[in-house]
Amino acid sequence: MPADDFYVTQYFRIIWSVPLVIALIQVILLSTVFSNETPVYLREQGREEELLVVMKKFYRGMEVRRRLDALAQGNKSEGN
């Protein structure tokens, strides 16, 4: 089987499988690692405890309070 035959008869498998593998990895990551709701959604739903847990995953110390205050200010300005 010459090397040229591989490109003609089998290379399509690689071309199709690489994007499929990447898409599968993305689906797995989105369903496991990145399964948190957004802070804005949690604030709108009144789920303050979950909001605090999510924010503590991304920020430390006083930065959590500062971000929560900024989120609250954003919600107030949208309501007016």
> How does DSSP classify residue 59?
-
What would the pLDDT profile of 43-70 be if each residue is shown by its tens digit?
888 888 988 888 888 888 889 889 888 8
pLDDT of residue 17 exceeding 90, the answer is yes
- Which residues, 6+ apart, have CB-to-CB distance to 39 below 8 Å? 51, 54, 55, 67, 71
Give the sign of the dihedral formed by CA 16, CA 18, CA 24, CA 27. Answer: negative
pTM of the entire predicted model: 0.51
**71 touches 40 (CB < 8 A):** yes
